[in-house]
Copies of this chain bind each other. A is one copy, B any other.
């Protein structure tokens, strides 16, 4: 596909940290080309390169640097497909305005995740939830729609659980060790986190608990019936740059052997792999057999950060099984998650 024939896309909140992750992740995307950058009124009218303090490794992509930043308002120039990297304080109204005006808003913001008619997607788990967009259109009169991805730590947890979902997940106890990049920029002061752990991330535990139930839930006509599993999260910030590690204990409805569970991990594949979506990793959940893996610095970036790695599966004296899993928080847990959602939308015909 030549550059000209790519699907034009926009990014709302393009100058912030999450926005920059979108810019970087989209840089050489085979289907999408970022042609439109929206940001606050303070930035609108400037060149992207002037409006943006680039915080990511390497250089700002030249093509995006030359875009003129637009206000976050629907307009004929804004592409049909827009990613939302907006701050929660402003995302609700703006995302709705775009959806109403016919745009497909693929959002990383938390604002609409738990609305009954909004899909909270992890395409390897619940791609069928996407059909909720049709309910939005009926119910809200929107011409476009909103699809969301989960909180960054929830993605790692639910992907780690995905191969076990077939056995009936009853109880989940998850303790996270989360990277600093999850807090954006300036984010966590170095005086707080250097050679330290902060055993608290505001709002995170609640998000992990309810989002997990919705993601693993069942599409029931016009809404999702959450999985009736109890989920408990302990969230901690650790001095790691990228990659959220989760220590998980889980109870299953069914009694299984370790070999059966390892086989479930080994054989796990899903809709994005079957569809050959460009950002879908070959093995979405990769089990590592070394006794001290996965590790954030060494494993978070596998397959461009889209693979969730799992290891150390063993019996748990309190629940049934315990293991660790790891996901790249700004890629699999944010920009990459949203782009994969958009690829699914495209594959399902929503962009036609």
Binding site for B on A (CB under 8 A): 55-59, 171-173, 175, 177, 180-181, 185-200, 209, 230-232, 234, 236, 238-241, 245, 247, 249, 291-299, 301-302, 311-312, 316-319, 322, 324
List 13 additional contacts besides A57-B301, A189-B190, A197-B295; criterion CB under 8 Å.
A58-B299, A173-B316, A180-B194, A195-B195, A196-B240, A197-B238, A197-B245, A199-B245, A199-B295, A199-B312, A199-B324, A200-B312, A236-B245
Instruction: List residues of chain B with CB within 8 A of the CB of A198.
Output: 292, 295
CA distance A82 to B195 in the complex (A): 34
Q: Is the CB of A173 within 8 A of B319?
A: yes
Instruction: List residues of chain B with CB within 8 A of the CB of A185.
Output: 189, 191
| Residue of A195, A199, A293 contacting most chain B CB atoms (<10 Å) | A199
How many copies the complex holds: the figure is 4
Q: Is the CB of A177 within 8 A of B180?
A: no
Q: Assess A294 versus B199: contact at CB under 8 Å? Given A187-B189, A190-B187, A194-B241.
A: yes
Q: Is the CB of A187 within 8 A of B191?
A: yes
Q: Is the CB of A291 within 8 A of B200?
A: yes
Q: Is the CB of B199 within 8 A of A292?
A: yes
Query: Can you pick out 27 interface pairs between chain A and chain B where the beta carbons lie within 8 Å of each other?
Result: A56-B298, A58-B299, A58-B301, A59-B302, A173-B173, A175-B175, A175-B247, A185-B189, A185-B191, A187-B191, A188-B190, A190-B190, A190-B194, A192-B295, A194-B297, A195-B195, A196-B296, A196-B297, A198-B295, A199-B292, A209-B317, A230-B317, A231-B317, A234-B322, A234-B324, A238-B238, A238-B239
Q: Is the CB of B57 within 8 A of A173?
A: no
